[in-house]
């Protein structure tokens, strides 16, 4: 099995400023990988590179075996960190989620029964089916976030990329959401790559955590220390870690100069 996402020796710049370097990342089918790190650490940038929305200056990025610009984008669902939809666009919740189907439906075709069934299913997963006829502009921030998550799910992509999906969700909804992610992963066999700040919660269900600040550091699932030799092999010795919690085994508080 080829990895769904394979990044090697990646370097990314904005103008002359290097914001990511020496990045290695592997995400496999059926895995949930969470990227954590400080503000400005480059998490969103990394996701954009994978999505083909940002170019890179060095290294190799393979998504479903291809460089980002050649990837079949229908196979990648995306939830941006900042809501990117037009304000006051008059549209119902159901129709928004149905948009997630558009890329797969293809040109010149209309959504059919199956598309609508998938939309219903996704709305149920995020517990928004009771508001499906509601205008999106009449929802709260957290409800909107759920709708956009449902839209990404409705694509039924091979890879789901979520940038801080839990923003705006209440504690119960967060719990539910993470459970839902696991459920989806099991059912649809997607790979899920997400950014999150609630590392404590996340580390209990994800398969891998990557600490990112300009460069990346990998962790196994919580409780499993990562073998030293794997770390060395993948990252060399130049490791910088800025986010720690009780699950951060195998990493030591580096000198962050």
Partner 1 sequence: MIELLNYEFARNALIAGSLISILFGFLSFFVVMKKLSFLTVGISHAAFGGIALGLLIGLSPYPTAIIFCILTGFLIASQSNRSEYDTVIGIIFALTMALGVIFLSLRKSYTFDLMSYLFGSILGINKTDLLFITITTILVTLFFTLFFKEIIFITFDKTVAKASGLPVDVFEYSIVAILSFVIVFSIKLIGIILVSAFLIIPAATTIFIANNYKKVIMLSIVLNLVIFYSGFFLSYKLDLPAGATIVTIGALIFFATSFINKKFFN
Ligand X SMILES: Nc1ncnc2c1ncn2[C@@H]1O[C@H](COP(=O)(O)OP(=O)(O)OP(=O)(O)O)[C@@H](O)[C@H]1O
- 3: left (phi > 0), else alpha (psi -120 to 50), else beta? beta
Q: Which is nearer to ligand X, 128 or 211 (CB)?
A: 211
User: Binding to Mg ion (CB under 5 A): which residues in 64-83?
Assistant: 81
Which residue in the set 37, 41, 42, 77 belongs to the binding site for partner 1 (CB under 8 A)? 77
List 65, 89, 140, 227, residue binding partner 1 (CB under 8 A): 89
Give the per-residue contact string, 106-145, with partner 1 (x = CB under 8 A; - = no).
-xx-xx-----------------------x----------
**Phi/psi at 189 (5° precision):** 55, 40
Cα 47 to the center of its chain, rounded Å: 7
Does residue 92 belong to the site contacting partner 1 (CB under 8 A)?
Answer: yes
38 and 214 in contact (C-beta within 8 Å)?
no
Q: Which stretch binds partner 1 (CB under 8 A): 21-29, 105-113, 164-172, 247-255?
A: 105-113
Nearer CB in complex with Mg ion: 97/216: 216
Edge-to-edge strands of the sheet including 208-213? 76-79, 159-163, 191-195, 32-36, 208-213, 215-219
Nearest-approach distance from CB 240 to ligand X, in angstroms: 14
With CB under 6 A as the contact rule, which of the stretches 37-45, 109-117, 216-224, 225-233 interacts with ligand X?
37-45
Does 37 engage in binding with ligand X (CB under 6 A)?
Answer: yes
Rule CB under 8 A: choose which of 19, 38, 102, 250 binds partner 1: 102
Between 48 and 101, name the residue whose CB sits nearer to Mg ion. 48
Residue 176 interacts with, from Mg ion, ligand X, partner 1, none (CB under 5-8 Å by kind): none
Residue with token string 């091979």: 158
CB of 87 to partner 1, least distance (A): 9
**45-51 long-range contacts, Cβ below 8 Å, gap at least 24?**
45/12, 45/14, 45/19, 45/20, 46/12, 46/20, 46/212, 47/78, 47/161, 47/163, 47/193, 47/195, 49/7, 49/10, 49/12, 49/20, 50/5, 50/7, 50/76, 50/161, 50/193, 51/76, 51/78, 51/161
CA 137: distance to chain centroid?
Answer: 25
Name which position in 12, 25, 27, 76 contacts partner 1 (CB under 8 A). Answer: 76
Residue numbers at the binding site for Mg ion (CB under 5 A): 43-44, 81
């Amino acid at each position: 099995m080829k990895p769904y996402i394979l990044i090697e020796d990646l370097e990314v710049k904005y103008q002359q400023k290097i914001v990511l370097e020496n990045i290695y990342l592997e995400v496999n089918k059926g895995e949930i990988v969470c990227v954590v790190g400080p503000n400005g650490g480059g998490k969103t940038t990394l996701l954009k590179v994978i999505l083909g929305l940002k170019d890179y200056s060095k290294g190799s990025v393979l998504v479903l075996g291809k460089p980002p610009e050649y990837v079949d984008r229908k196979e990648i669902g995306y939830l941006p960190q900042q809501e990117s939809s037009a304000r006051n666009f008059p549209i119902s919740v159901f129709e928004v989620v149905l948009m997630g189907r558009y890329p797969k439906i293809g040109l010149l075709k209309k959504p059919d029964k199956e598309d609508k069934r998938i939309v219903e299913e996704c709305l149920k997963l995020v517990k928004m089916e009771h508001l499906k006829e509601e205008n999106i502009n009449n929802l709260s921030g957290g409800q909107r976030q759920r709708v956009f998550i449902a839209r990404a799910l409705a694509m039924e992509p091979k890879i789901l990329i979520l940038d801080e999906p839990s923003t705006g969700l209440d504690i119960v909804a967060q719990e539910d959401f993470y459970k839902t992610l696991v459920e989806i992963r099991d059912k649809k066999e997607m790979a899920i790559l997400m950014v999150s700040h609630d590392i404590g919660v996340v580390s209990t269900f994800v398969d891998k955590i990557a600490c990112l600040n300009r460069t990346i550091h990998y962790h196994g699932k919580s409780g499993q220390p990562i073998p030293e030799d794997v770390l060395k092999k993948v990252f060399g010795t130049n490791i910088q870690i800025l986010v720690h919690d009780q699950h951060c085994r195998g990493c030591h508080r580096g000198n962050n100069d």
